[in-house]
Amino acid sequence: MARRGGAHQGPDGLVVVDKPVRWTSHDVVAKSRGLLGTRKVGHAGTLDPDATGVLLLGVGKATKLLRFLSPLGKQYVGEVRLGVDTSTLDSSGEVTAVHDMAEVTVDQVRAVAAGFVGDIEQIPPMVSAVKIDGKRLHELAREGKEVERAPRPVTIHALEVGEVGPQVAALERIGGAEPTAFAEAAAGGSGLSFQVDVTCSSGTYIRTLAQDIGAALGGGAHLVRLRRVSVGPYTLDDAVPLEQVAPERALPMADAVRHLPRIDVDDALAADVAVGKVLERAALGLAPDDAAEHWSVFGPGGDLLAVYEPFRGSTTKPSLVIPA
């Protein structure tokens, strides 16, 4: 159980939630505040409302560690439907175009998908949390506006394609059936459904990837469903359903930095770390050529004291000192 401490009520640590369908990440945070008995809850990386799976929550002092979790890579499993474009790039939106893609095979999809592996650029969807001129794109979309979005670099580390089934078999979504109007419109198109298993950098939109694959095949596509199976080293095995979130389900602070190289220090050095001193790499037992961007520093009692980063020459400095 995560230790309690500080002025707030509730645990300090990490909660890995298996986000349910039709909940926004903000909704999960709001609900978890009540379940955990503290307002000090934040999340690392938005997950679309219609997607399910791993959502990382920082609680108490661990909210300060979220910036080290947000850039972690992600893995998703999803289902893509060829032949239908939508306004949101997934099955929650309005049908905007229907294409006859009946002749496209899974092998053709695999061949095209291979071209998206590596460093690519994506245009963020209008229905997203990206901010332009201080306003989120989904807010502009609700106002009926569409603005120009600059492409953003992302990396697809791996992309596997497998067949799910043709036509409306793909329209069964997690959490319920498709709206009738959508199902009727989608049935007018022709195209198979296929499964994607994607390992990618933070900031990658699987909805955009689905649309881009469809366009590259000469038609269109949308994402039918999506499940995030991991964020960095945190997987569904770590996750608890939202209704089971409770203080005793919070992982210790150490778990919030399990992806960072660990340094253990003695009492004397712990006192220096606690006041945020700049330290020589050698003092922390680091090699001169250690290329890590951050290190987690723990005291003799096993408490997380700080996260350090490279500084001038052979020195290091704190990115964050955890308050006592």
Neighbours of 142 (CB within 10 A): 11
C-alpha 218/C-alpha 159 separation (Å) is: 20
Strand partners, 196: 78, 161
Token digits of residue 152: 């953003």
Sign of CA pseudo-dihedral 119, 123, 125, 129: positive
How many angstroms separate the Cα of 142 from the Cα of each of 84, 122, 123? 21, 22, 18
Token digits of residue 5: 């401490």
Decide if 76 contacts 230 (C-beta within 8 A): no
Whether 266 sits among the annotated catalytic residues: the reply is: no
How many angstroms separate the Cα of 307 from the Cα of each of 67, 101, 317, 319? 11, 52, 9, 6
Nearest to 126 by CA among 107, 111, 140: 140
Please write down the long-range contacts of 302-306, taking CB distance under 8 Å and 24 or more positions apart.
Answer: 302/254, 303/253, 304/253, 304/254, 304/256, 304/257, 305/265, 305/270, 305/273, 305/274, 306/273, 306/274, 306/276
Q: Which helix (H) or strand (E) holds 273?
A: helix 267-274
304-310 and 279-280 beta bridge pairing: unpaired
C-alpha 249/C-alpha 239 separation (Å) is: 9
Candidate list 12, 18, 27, 48, residue with the active-site label: 48
Catalytic residues: 48
